[in-house]
Structure 1
């Protein structure tokens, strides 16, 4: 309307005047063009679609769509087939309100829209599946373990379809969602089989896998046979079925067993504490900081070796830095507080031979923090370690590859500089934290250098970071510093041979460690260990163990009433939470337990941490 008014604004009068003049000269009647003049003189307004209904009804009913929120006007253009795409693209390029299409492009757009919606729906379904798996299993680790095969199988399906040039269509894309659901079921079946075997130690996984295989075989027979169909849509159903079922079955067979065994076993044996997200995370964080601290110490040692070389003052500064770093690293170990028991106020100012029981790789962390005046006798592996070998060498830690007696002269010089010498007389880490046989080297050295022996007894390091695991547990570390044993001590050294000294001091360690264990290893101490025996065995089993430990305060009152030695029988032990806790705390008490429910008894019997003093009977 605006264009119409703009066009005739300055042309209307001249056109009408010329029209009147020419019509008279040609013999037309005076009002012959009155209708045209009326059109030009009329003021036009925007009208609703119903105003034009007579015209639309007569000529354009099939070319106009008028709805409450939008309207569409379309027409049919005829063109050569080879020009169809070019014409469509040009029409679509005019503006956002103009577009061209044909039946083929409409179908293609519908499939693309369905595919986009399918991706969105797939993401939502995947999230919901993961959410409900977590609710069902009660552990995020198990739900992710079950979900990973679905994710990888879907990637495989898309990859194989691309390799074999298969396309999604309206029919087979719906079937793909059904295959995704079946893959979910297969992964759940296999995971439940793994959990059953882990819980009861009965071989059932093969039965679960056979069920999956039978279901997949029926699917192959039912829909996979359409691969011989001539109709493309029917054949595409078979193609998606074959590719999809092979992928989901293969992933369900491979990944859940692989991941579950990594979580629960180590070198073919059940882990005392299975891997969880939390203990894996805190191990990663703690050892990342430990690695960075070791790297900083190594760089410092390298720089000092280049700059200061044999400068004693710089070397002592490095020992101070090493001691401070060990204290910092000890303090940031997540859920592992430490306590130093030093009743005689030992300062390590006077050189001596420090001996310590050996439980873990982290023993050095908690011993070197005690004083900057400590030198350690190490083995060949530690001396040549690329991880902290520079630290060891610059700090004058000495290897005992060729025997302690060959290092006496070097040690005498270090002692003269005020350094004490740390030796682990067991020579190796104790897997169960018990006191192993002592070697005589440390005691020979004490006699040879005429030095006091300073006994350190550590407890808890082997529990929170055991020898056969590289996983940080929750725990508490205690370092107890005993009285110095001087060369004139008649109980342990005076007029004693090196072998006699070794035996008597080992007995001292056994008695001290036993007393520390009795004081420290309470039900609260073993709470986490007991609880970890019931995870990955089903939601209800874990929840029951948690509630029972919380409501009974870890059975503290019941266990306090038990004798320290002798025998004790538990009727109706159910899943064995109380029996396990009692056996761990009361190590000298022989406990027997039974339950009328054979499944509960089997679960209790097959807990990983069941000690030798606990027996289950039918």
Structure 2
């Protein structure tokens, strides 16, 4: 007991059950006119306040880190990938501590902030290394990884030595630091590069476009809806359609067509449009032919009519998801041979259904129309049917062959004019008609492309090809396109679709990308003097899909050049031994050709076209 200025302090030890402690304190204060202070409760309240303050500060600091990373990388996906190791480190550290039966105290909690801070730094370093690899192809990860290991090692030596301390608080502090730092080094040096390469780098190496989280999630939802709907039709609807005829079959076909159409409308970032060149109502059966570039082509045709029967491949016919529905709706597998299915197909035609055939036989990676096979035209001859062309535009960009991502864009389906069975201008035999209608289809599809593809059509495709690359590269590519998109559009008109081009460039390959997106048949030999720019251009995923070759010297050219395209203002054209018939300057300076054999044929802004003809 102590006394000061008439105030008495009495210290005592009382053993009370935990549940009776609050009641005991209130009883003492009431009966004896005193202020009772429970030191244990006071300490617990103090620690509770510290933990709450600490949690609040942690949340604020995490928010500040996220905002800082967003500003630094200017990309939501890179921010999430950078934060991934930090969050995972916290989860792993907490899990190990729980498994070992260790509780966080105020000291070890403070150490966690150090661990998270170190993990944040390492994540940013690794993101920069992986981004550099994605941009230039150089693997700088070993250098960054060595620096990170050295930093972790020195931190472990400085803080980890406290593990030998006899005081429990210091021992706990060191143990938490060691567990956290080892978690950081394992996650940042192994798991993080694996995820980055899986989601970003490896797609480009396979010739697939980089994607965003929104594109991925929306594609998964669309395919999930399609899969569940197909399964529902196969299990519950197909038994009723198996032997149905007349109005009943027509009703089920209408429902299935509406469902297929609804799949396309699950994505609001893909615009849908139908163009009717005539008053076609599909009331008279015909052999419908369409170009084939995407898994979505069958869905696009379903927007036009339900009075159709598809000729499908085996994988569709035997699909466990919608195979039963395909069979019940009367689709025919082409692998069984058209001759063997004449009776079945004739029955469908009598019921008023048209036959849908993709005469290219397989999907194309580009929007080029390939050679037509003769099967569709053989059927038209055998059954005495008209040929009805349907032109599908945009699917090669929305869902390319070999990919599972539905990209932003537009799908346009144009219903062409019937080619009458009596029209002999396309030939007398089905073999001759296949060739001439193939040429006619290409001509009509080219006209449709000219109508739909404006100067901004390939903008998103171009920008996606540079996604996740260094911010300076992305900014320069975007600025170049915005300033010169009308020139890109005009340039396309002066280069044939199958030209061999020598391009003298000083960019990151964006001009080569646009030229081959506009026409996939072009073959480009691109000479970029700057090594780093050439390396960046070589890493574009479209180099895997298009005929783009980056050369270090002109001896690597393997084709006769039709077009010389010069977009490097500092290049001296006189250094070339041989010049092709057409020379195009895409420069603001040094774009005058002092050669009497060439005359200026076209000029628009920074574009000048010279020809020797």
**TM-score, normalized by length of structure 2?**
0.79
Whether 2:5 is the aligned partner of 1:58: answer yes
Partner of 2:250: 316
Whether 2:281 is the aligned partner of 1:347: answer yes
Cα offset for 1:560?
6.0
Query: SS of the counterpart of 1:371?
Result: coil
Partner of 1:418: 352
Q: 1:560 to 1:302 in 2, by over 3 A?
A: closer
2: CA distance between counterparts of 1:186 and 1:266? 22
Cα offset for 1:276?
0.5
Deviations 1:366-400 (CA, angstroms, capped at 9, x unpaired)? 11222222111222222232332343233211223
Of residues 160, 181, 187, the one that matches 1:224 is: 160
Cα offset for 1:208?
1.5
Whether 2:170 is the aligned partner of 1:238: answer no
Q: 1:533 to 1:171 in 2, by over 3 A?
A: same
Residues 223 and 241, structure 1, Cα contact 8 Å, conserved in 2: yes
Query: SS of the counterpart of 1:476?
Result: strand
Of residues 378, 383, 387, the one that matches 2:321 is: 387
Cα offset for 1:116?
2.7
Partner of 1:559: 491
Partner of 1:484: 418
Partner of 1:538: 470
Query: SS of the counterpart of 2:547?
Result: coil
Whether 2:150 is the aligned partner of 1:150: answer no
Whether 2:266 is the aligned partner of 1:356: answer no
Q: 1:577 to 1:124 in 2, by over 3 A?
A: same
2: CA distance between counterparts of 1:558 and 1:483? 30
Residues 391 and 413, structure 2, Cα contact 8 Å, conserved in 1: yes
2: CA distance between counterparts of 1:523 and 1:263? 30
Query: SS of the counterpart of 2:309?
Result: strand
Of residues 431, 435, 450, the one that matches 2:365 is: 431
2: CA distance between counterparts of 1:360 and 1:589? 21
Where structure 1 has 5 or more consecutive residues not aligned to the other structure, the ranges are 1-55, 64-74
Query: SS of the counterpart of 1:340?
Result: strand
Query: SS of the counterpart of 1:157?
Result: helix
Residues 580 and 614, structure 1, Cα contact 8 Å, conserved in 2: no
2: CA distance between counterparts of 1:283 and 1:139? 20
Deviations 1:289-314 (CA, angstroms, capped at 9, x unpaired)? 545654665577347349xx424211
Cα offset for 1:89?
4.1
Whether 2:116 is the aligned partner of 1:214: answer no
Partner of 1:528: 460
State which drifts further: 441-450 or 130-139. 441-450
Cα offset for 1:492?
3.6
2: CA distance between counterparts of 1:560 and 1:535? 24
Deviations 1:33-71 (CA, angstroms, capped at 9, x unpaired)? xxxxxxxxxxxxxxxxxxxxxxx96311xx5xxxxxxxx
Q: 1:613 to 1:607 in 2, by over 3 A?
A: closer
State which drifts further: 447-456 or 102-111. 102-111
Query: SS of the counterpart of 1:370?
Result: coil
Whether 2:327 is the aligned partner of 1:404: answer no
Q: 1:596 to 1:305 in 2, by over 3 A?
A: closer
Residues 97 and 103, structure 2, Cα contact 8 Å, conserved in 1: yes
Of residues 98, 106, 112, the one that matches 2:48 is: 112
2: CA distance between counterparts of 1:272 and 1:521? 22
Instruction: List aligned pairs for 1:264-275, cutoff 5 A.
Output: 264-265=200-201, 269-270=205-206, 272-275=208-211
Partner of 1:13: none
Residues 293 and 401, structure 2, Cα contact 8 Å, conserved in 1: yes
Q: 1:184 to 1:321 in 2, by over 3 A?
A: same
Query: SS of the counterpart of 1:196?
Result: helix
State which drifts further: 366-375 or 86-95. 86-95
More strand by proportion, 1 or 2? 2
1: CA distance between counterparts of 2:105 and 2:224? 50
Residues 393 and 413, structure 2, Cα contact 8 Å, conserved in 1: yes
Residues 529 and 552, structure 2, Cα contact 8 Å, conserved in 1: no
**TM-score, normalized by length of structure 1?**
0.78
2: CA distance between counterparts of 1:95 and 1:392? 84
Instruction: List aligned pairs for 1:450-489, cutoff 5 A.
Output: 450-489=384-423
1: CA distance between counterparts of 2:249 and 2:331? 12
Partner of 1:580: 513
Where structure 2 has 5 or more consecutive residues not aligned to the other structure, the ranges are 554-613
1: CA distance between counterparts of 2:88 and 2:509? 39
